[in-house]
Each structure stands twice: as structure tokens, then as C-alpha cells.
Chain A
Amino acid sequence: MGQKRIVTAYVFLAIPLVFYIVVRFYPMIYAFWLSFTNWRLISPKKDFVGFDNFVKLFKDKVFTTSLWNTIKYVTFGIPLVIVLSLFLATTLNRVRHLQWFYRLLYVMPYITPLVAVSWVWRWIYQRPPAGILNNVLMAFGLDAQPFLSSMNQSLPAIVVTTVWVNLGYCIIIYLAGLQTIPQEYIEAAEIDGATSRQSFFKITLPLLNPITVFLVVTQSITFLRIFTQVYNMTDQGSGGPLNATKPLVLYIYQKAFRSFDMGLASSATVILFMLIMGITLIQLLVLNKRVQY
């Protein structure tokens, strides 16, 4: 009987195991291996070149710019998305009417195709007379701004779009977390004379800590992998103007599927992988240290 079940289990797992080996593990190892070769798709030459690609990457100004841009996306985006969603979630949590309706509004951007979102925002940021935002600015007597065509404003403009997209997801998760906090804690604090500000910082925030860590990590990964919005919001998907908005993934895409430099592009994916690994490991460390309240 036991023997038969073991066989059944392996039969059930046969196709998935083949899938995981062929479609996940083998390609990952292959990508690592490619990162040490000088292979270009168009030539049969595939020599092992050691760390040459990585040296080449860090000498390439476009690469260091896109790495730097990626870091900017993460460091501007994460505080914005976390603080805003925490604020909106605690506010929404107090609203007793039409909760489902607000949730609906906030989830909408999250389920909409990012390509559609990007094009709508691209229009919002257009120069006058088309750009909606510029029309609003001008209506208030302010100067029109170049937004996406400016070296300084284009990256923040894309950050804002991305924050808008991810906000709903974070709000829902914070709301779920807020609902697990026993109401008695807050009431007890109020009886002891705590202000709502104090009970937020001393009770709610610490209890939400695990959720905040989870969101910081998953959102960091999302911002590290930024691609679609930059591809669709910049001219010819170039990450312009002059690479001012180009993230790591767009660099990888261009090297692999425009220049067909598979070796170099693979090295860049290895760097992306290590960044994501690093953030995930930090999460594990922080979560293991979770303090009991």
C-alpha cells in the first residue's frame, strides 16, 4: 500500500519535475554559464572569457547609468509607496461605509495592463496643448514642465506612475494586516490616555512590522525589475532622454535582443539576480529577528 502511494506520488510529479528542470533550473545554469562567454547570437564563436563581461559592464557608461537609475527607482519609489499606502490604509480602515468601493478603486491600477497605464500617463505628461498635467499647471498660473523629455524630471515622472500602479496592492495588504490587530489593544491604550498618534506609533506600526518588511522587499523587487513603463513612456522605448530613465532590465533587453550580445546581457542578468537575492536574504534575516510584542 505505502509502496503504491509512493509510485503514485512520483507519477503525479513526473511532468512538473521535467518542467522545473527544463524550464527553470537548466535555463538558470545556462544563463550563468553564458555570462562567462563572449557569445553573440550571430556568430558560432562561444569562448569562455571568465569575468571579462563583468569588467566590460562596469566600464560601460550606459550600464553604470542604468544600474544607478535602477537604484534611484528603488530609493525614490519605496518610501513613497510604503508611506502613502500605510497612510491611506489606516484612513480607509476607519471608513465603515462603502469600503468595497474604495478597495475597488485602489485595485484597478494594479490589474490594468501596465502598457495601457504607461500610455495614459505618457499623455498626462505631454507638453501643452495635449498634456493634461501641464494644462492644470497653466490653469494655476504655473509654468509648463517638460516632464518625460527632461533629464531631471523624467525618472521621477516614471516613479510616480509606478507608485500609482503599486499603491492599491500595498493598501489591500496593509488593510488585511490592520484587520488582524485586536481592537482591545487600541482601546486599552486610549483608556490609559494615549493619543491616537501615540497608539499609531506605539501599537499599530510595530504590529504591522512584518507586513512592512514583506512589502518593502516585494516592492523593491518590483522596482528593481522596472521595464514596461520605461519602454512605453520613452521615445522608441529607448529609456531616454539620453539614458536618463533607462533601468537595468531595459539595458539587458537592448543588449540581448537588439545587439544580440547574449554573453554580456547574461552577465547583466546575473547582477540583477544577485541584487534580488541580496534583498530576499535581508528579508529572511530581518523576519527571523522578529520581536514579539
Chain B
Amino acid sequence: MVFPFVWMFSSSFKTSEEIYEMSLIPNEPTIANYEFIFKYSMFPRWFLNSMIVAVVTTISVLFFDSLIGYTLAKYTFPGKNIIFILILSTLMIPTEMLVIPWYIMVRQLGWMETYWSIMFPGMISAFGIFLMKQFMSTIPDDLLDAARIDGVSEFGIFIRIVIPLVKPALATLAIFNFVGNWNAFLWPLIVAQTPKMYTLPVGVSYFSSENLTRWELIMTGAAVSTIPLIIFFIIFQKQIVKGIAMSGLKG
């Protein structure tokens, strides 16, 4: 299972002469490929773009999904069930169907070549709303009522009481969104039309076709786009495994 990863990393430390040799451990390990990528290509910019996109959309999803989940779990108001069903039904719409209208919208609104155009479709996630609603319905109403009697505002209850209680669910959601946005390919490929606005996956794809024979650079690019996720994974591995398991047990 891990062989392709090992190969990717080992190749990224090989010289262009050694790259076609089948040795797993480079004879003369070098960081020249990393130096090249960071000094003479637009990788640093793509890295930054990916970071901005993944971080901003994740913050937005955490805020809105927990707010919507909370409202749907803890308030009674006309139209609640319809709203919940409508939001859940969007899970069935494939992104591929929406990209053409989105592209037309982005062009008409003059958002081409902006971060906003890459990020706006992912600012709220229906899966996250479902997850947060499930979690928040387990919070006892008495707790919220007690806060109301103490004079805490409705928004204050959400921020100061509800949010701290659902941290594990927030962590799961954060991981899913960060990974999902970091790895997203189709939509960034469509809207990022000049190299300046590429995200890492689009960059690797472009970089590779431009340097078709420079496998050592391609492998380094692939490794660079993977490293942040590996770090992320090592820190949050328990939550990731739990989160994936949770995503399957909802059915």
C-alpha cells in the first residue's frame, strides 16, 4: 500500500542521473529538487494559494455549518424541516453539474483570477450541517435555558456554550474540509487560468506537462503537495480515522 509514497519521496531526493535507477534509497541524496522548485518555479505561490483557499473555506464552513446545525437542532420555527431536507438534498447534486453555471457566474461578475472565485462554492457544506445538527441535538435544552435566564444573548449562547461542547465534531469537519479543499482539482482547474492563481494540484498537473521528462521534479512537486497533509495526519490521526468511520455510519 505505501510503496508508491515511498517511491515518490525517495525519487524527490534523487539527481536527474539517478532518477531512472530502481534503487529505493538514493545513492547521493540531494535536496536540489526542492531548492529548484522553491527558487525557480511558481511552487511557493501555488503553495500559498492552496493554503489560503483551504484555510479560509475551512473557517467559513466551521462557522456557518455549526450555526446552521445549531439553529436546525435547537430552534422551532416554521419551515424548519423543509429547509433541512432541501439542504440535505443538495448532497445528491454532482459538482460537475454546477461548474458550468458557476463558471458563467464568475465571468459575469468579473471574479476571474480571484481567490474568491475558487473559494465561494465551498463556503458552506451540507455534509457538515448534517454532522453538526446530529451532534448538537444531544446538548440538553436546560443548559441553554439556564444561560438565557442569566441574560446571555442567543448568539452568545451559540459561541460561548454550544461551540465548546462540540469540539470533536468541529475537528472532524475541519479535517475533512481542509483535506478536501487542499486536494480539489476540477473547479480550481477551471477558474485559475493563469499560473499566478493555480493551487498546488493544478500546479503539479501543469508543471508536469511542461517538464514531461523531468520525473525528479514532478515527484518533488507531488511530494510537496502531500507533505502538509501528512503533517496534518500525524497530528490528527485519531480524529481522521474516527471522522471517516462517522461518515460511513450515518446511513
Contacts and interface: CB of A to CB of B under 8 A. Distances in A.
Interface of A: 5-6, 8-10, 12-13, 15-17, 19-20, 23-28, 30-31, 34, 41, 100, 103-117, 119-121, 123-124, 129-130, 132, 135, 164, 167-169, 172-173, 175-177, 210-211, 213-215, 218, 221, 225, 227-228, 231-232, 236-237, 249, 252-253, 256-257, 262, 265-266, 269-270, 272-273, 276-277, 280, 283, 287
A123 B215 contact: yes
B208 interface: yes
16 contacts: A5-B154, A9-B80, A16-B67, A23-B98, A27-B101, A28-B101, A30-B101, A100-B237, A100-B238, A107-B237, A109-B1, A113-B182, A113-B185, A113-B201, A114-B185, A237-B209
User: Which of A24, A113, A218, A273 has most B Cβ within 10 Å?
Assistant: A113
Nearest to A101: B237
Contacts of A9: 71, 75, 77, 80
Contacts, number: 235
Contact of B97 (A104, A114, A168, A272): A272
A253 B95 CA distance: 12
A116 B222 contact: yes
Contact of B75 (A8, A175, A227): A8
Contacts of A252: 96
Chain B interface residue number, banded: 35 or more
Secondary structure at chain A's binding surface: helix, strand, loop or mixed?
Answer: helix
Given A12-B70, A116-B8, A120-B219, A31 B98 contact: yes
Interface stretch (B32-40, B85-93, B110-118, B166-174): B85-93
B73 to A, nearest CB: 11
B7 A20 contact: no
A16 B123 CA distance: 9
Given A6-B75, A9-B75, A172-B244, A23 B182 contact: no
Nearest to B229: A111
Contact of A114 (B94, B201, B232): B201
Contact of A135 (B22, B183, B225): B22
B190 A169 contact: no
A124 B183 contact: no
A211 B251 CA distance: 8
Contacts of A19: 64, 123-124
A8 B70 CA distance: 12
